[in-house]
Structure 1
Amino acid sequence: MSNRPLSTIFGITKSSIRRAVSTVRHAFMRGFVPLYLGIDSVTRESLINEHTKPLEKKLFGNQEERLILDLDGTYIYINKSNNFQFQRRSFSLHKGRPLVKPMVVVTTTGHFLTIVGPYMSDGKNNDAAILNHMLKTNIDDIRGLLREGDVFVVDRGFRVALPLLKDLGINAEMPAIMQKGEKQLTTGEANASRLVTKIRWVVESANARIKRFKYLDHVMPNSQLPFIGDFVRIVCAISNKYFSPLSSPDQVEQDELIAEKMLQQNEKENELKMLVEEKGLARKKTIWRPIEDCEVQGFPRLSDEQLSELTLGVYQLRLSSSYMQEHTTGNCDIKVHVHEKSLISAKLQSRHTSSRRYMLWIRHSEDMVESWYCQCKTGSRVVGMCSHIAAVVWFLSAGRYQQKESLGVRDWGKYLSDASAIRVDDSSSSESDSEVF
């Protein structure tokens, strides 16, 4: 709410509202934020022992006393400025609107370590440039906290900063980047990327926690620009003090089992991919049938726990019902072909591009799903599986035994008009009207 309605509700002047908010903000920044946010608020030993999960320690820490941190920039939207120079520096080509960028540094449990910025949002202030600025100027004495061998988990936007991290002895874990002309990551690259995304989600969820506070989720007036950094830090300190961890560090046995399985799978090659390429299965003539009409003999029936063990997470399984909803109530059929008793192929619509479909292959026995391969960018991995394979596996092993209404995906498009949908009688009536005129 702006100061005007607040002044009406409390029966005081707008200047009194401004002074009250300023007083509370200063009180937070003096007596609360330093206790629960910032490098001085926590020790390195506490970050490693209390705010780092065993899963991440086993995947990237080699069980040593290494600090593992997730970094990402978040966005606070602002109004367009009348100052043209500032308007250009605060306009993000990526988002297509004016904004400022705080850099968020969290542990693998979602504990906010520090907030840097906010920064401008033009091309000179991308994530890599911000990280370079943080380390070279030693903001908040961050280099005093770091030791050689520590790990930064980052996304592809930080790739330009990798040489500096290497010079400082910091290991950077980042999803693989496809080279120009390539259509798919290799099995090794896709596997390594899955190890990163397994823990990368924490910083995205931490950013979402910031936006739970509606004041920071809306477009902020430019008059509040001097205080955005304080508001973000106050929100993060509140989260550290009162919110539960995004990922619990206490599931030691379960995390170690998952990490051990992921590391074992990471060393394997995708044998089904090699079989598909060797026999040219993608070019062979196939008889495609709707997945509901195709009799897939001997496909195992799996529980939610067994499916989660295959996908090594829940994200792909959450997308499965959406893929099936588009098939059951939409116009995008999922086609299946049975090559032999234990090998099937399927053709699935991309959820991003209407003109793109992906082919995938699944080998199974009566008790388990043994191997898989998809033609999408990350479909060759054996550490977990892509969402296309997960959708087909989920439907054949569990979804087809449920009622369609249990998918839980609503079609909001039925409440909107579609200008591309023109009936034949509408088209003929419009032609006759044009003849009259």
Structure 2
Amino acid sequence: MVKAYTCICCNKRAKPKDRRPLTDTVKNYLRRVLPAVDPTDSDVICFQCRVKSYKNAPKPRQCSDNISNDPDFQPQPSTSRQPFSPLSITLQIPSTIRSHSRCFICKRPGPKLISLPADGRLSAFIDHNIIISADSRCCPSHVYEGTLTETALKDMKTITETSQMNRTGVNDLLQKIRKLYQQQSRHLNFDNLSDADCQSLTKLNRAQFEDLYNHLFDKIKNTPNRSIKTSIGIFLCKLCSGMSNRLLSTIFGITKSSIRRAVSTVRHAFMRGFVPLYLGIDSVTRESLINEHTKPLAKKLFGNQEERLILVLDGTYIYINKSNNFQFQRRSFSLHKGRPLVKPMVVVTTTGHFLTKVGPYMSDGKNNDAAILNHMLKTNIDDIRGLLREGDVFVVDRGFRDALPLLKDLGINAEMPAIMQKGENN
């Protein structure tokens, strides 16, 4: 029977190449950190624990007789590390396994496993009460922007009911929580913002902000630096004020890279969970547009009190910076405005309800309002022709005059300000 050599310090089986006999330095170290252990000459220690013992062993102070006899000599504080602390503290907090060879979530073997960043481990502890060891590794597909995905947290199979930590680990965890609290208490935080401040920063009152939060809370994750509400607040502040990421970083007390991630995350969340419900032809029915989003005055003026769909179309501008791409720079420069821009086409009802937005298009001469409307109807963008019926009304300006023949062929009435004939006066 082969004798199993276990390390006296960590109780792991030591391989032949990693076994080391106990020296006097190691014995003294073990007696100091493990009072219950009485090392003998027959015991062995693994290579890792032996290195830790030598690193944490007290170093003798070397000083000359002249210094030691000097009455003004003041001993300098020790700068050596804290002694190695074994896993002797048990916490009633769930934890994951410690493994480099298998994913601690799905138990798949390596080799392409990664370590979860410190911010991701702290976020898992704060949001889900799970301690993840720094020695644990997982598949890259379980991590998004430095934190675990919601699917990974739900599918986690390797969780124990208790956690084994040492004094250093507990101290580091407390310091990180303390630092996080100080950051959140000193800077702007939307979790406890007043109604007046919320209105000033986002143009939404507190009730409207909470309603928006209810649409997006399951599509955005908390991070150690910002909560879900703070991420939404950063995005709305960026839209309302146009402040730079550097200024937002100072106001919210987080880095510029975190500001960029917050804006990108919330923008994608809006496109998944908010925009499809309130913008687009599929978000509303034709009957609802006629009965709820058409003013009586518009029906009287353009609809002859009939059940007709009345839409208002107009192109708008989004100003952009000058591009380094010469072709894009040339097509995006507007001779009318004298600066680069792009042109989206907006379709609204007479009550101001946004039905859809098409584009943006380039601002050169090929994309005037009439050309954009012709492109919309010919290519049937967003299935707009499926919503229209013969006799519906488009309220447009004179920039759409070249699109009137196509509207007439489709049976759509175009209401446009009258164009004076040559030689006429007001």
TM range (shorter): 0.3 to 0.5
Structure showing greater relative contact order (alpha-carbon pairs closer than 8 Å, 6 or more residues apart): 1
Q: Which has the larger radius of gyration?
A: 2
Q: TM-score, normalised by structure 1?
A: 0.41
Q: TM-score, normalised by structure 2?
A: 0.42
Q: Greater helix percent: which structure?
A: 1
